[in-house]
């Protein structure tokens, strides 16, 4: 079973990916995480990736496609994969389809998550994340505060603030989503694999997703 998420920044694709991967034994492939690792390299390529991410614009298709091909072509003991953050535009979707055809695989579900602009902005501005287990918290929303400031409740690793989680970069990331990624909704609707999941509460959203998969 292979899954894709289409969602604006902070709509919950990372959170849902973690819940789903554990339940269905799927590999969680976050292109944002792959790029954050690549951006740590002190090379011209690493610096270029870092600067694009900090601006909130999409990293070149060629770079991301190479990272993805490596990941999807390698041996895996999982029951499938979740792509969190890919595709971000139609070109990437076409490329994915060609690659999966070659590998004799297909996408079963595309989950479309959404939330209004102000909610997303508040989630981004207050968000801190655990780089070890991927858990996310929000310092501006009491319900989502970590128990101990700066420490992950789940694995006790130190929490970090992503350098692109600020108001200015959020606006660019959201605009990029509207321009580049929204056309993917029609694209996957036409293939009859798109499921729109409504709701702001992570547990409710998760329940709706598992209902679709299990039925």
Distance between CA 89 and CA 17 in Å, rounded?
20
Q: How many residues bind ligand AMP (CB under 6 A)?
A: 17
Whose tokens are 């954050």? That residue is 36
**Residue 17 within binding range of ligand AMP, rule CB under 6 A:** no
Alpha-carbon gap, residue 21 to 123, rounded angstroms: 23
**Which one of the spans 20-28, 84-92, 118-126, 141-149 is the region binding ligand AMP (CB under 6 A)?**
84-92
Q: Rule CB under 6 A: which of 94-133 touch ligand AMP?
A: none
Closest distance to ligand AMP from the beta carbon of 214 (Å): 27
The H-or-E segment that residue 5 falls in is strand 3-6
Cα 113-116-119 angle, rounded to 5 deg: 100
139 HSE (CA, 13 A, CB side): 15
Catalytic hit among 162, 171, 189, 208: 162
Q: Which stretch binds ligand AMP (CB under 6 A): 53-61, 74-82, 103-111, 196-204?
A: 53-61
Tell me how far, at minimum, the Cβ of 192 lies from ligand AMP, in Å: 23
Residue 64, interface with ligand AMP (CB under 6 A)? yes
Token couple for 70: 């490596």
> Are the beta carbons of 141 and 126 closer than 8 angstroms?
yes
Among 35, 107, 194, 205, interactor with ligand AMP by CB under 6 A = 35
Helix or strand run (H / E) with residue 196: strand 194-197
Catalytic positions, written as ranges: 13, 88, 127, 162, 173
Q: Which residues bind ligand AMP (CB under 6 A)?
A: 9, 31-32, 35, 52-53, 56-59, 64, 85-86, 88, 92, 164, 173
């Amino acid at each position: 079973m292979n899954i894709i998420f289409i969602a604006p920044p902070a709509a919950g694709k990372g959170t849902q990916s973690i819940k789903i991967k554990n339940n269905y034994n799927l590999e969680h492939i976050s292109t944002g995480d792959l790029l954050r690792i690549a951006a740590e390299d002190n090379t011209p390529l690493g610096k270029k990736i870092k600067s694009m991410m900090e601006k909130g614009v999409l990293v070149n298709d060629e770079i991301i496609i190479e990272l993805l091909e490596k990941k999807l072509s390698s041996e895996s003991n999982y029951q499938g994969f979740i792509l969190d953050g890919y595709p971000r535009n139609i070109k990437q979707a076409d490329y994915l389809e060609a690659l999966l055809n070659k590998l004799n695989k297909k996408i079963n579900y595309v989950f479309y998550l959404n939330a209004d602009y102000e909610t997303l902005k508040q989630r981004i501005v207050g968000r801190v994340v655990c780089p070890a287990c991927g858990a996310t918290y929000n310092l501006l929303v009491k319900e989502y505060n970590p128990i101990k400031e700066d420490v992950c409740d789940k694995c006790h690793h130190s929490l970090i603030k992503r350098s692109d989680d600020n108001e200015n970069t959020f606006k660019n990331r959201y605009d990029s989503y509207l321009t580049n990624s929204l056309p993917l909704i029609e694209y996957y609707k036409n293939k009859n694999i798109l499921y729109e999941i409504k709701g702001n509460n992570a547990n409710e959203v998760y329940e709706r997703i598992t209902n679709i998969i299990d039925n």
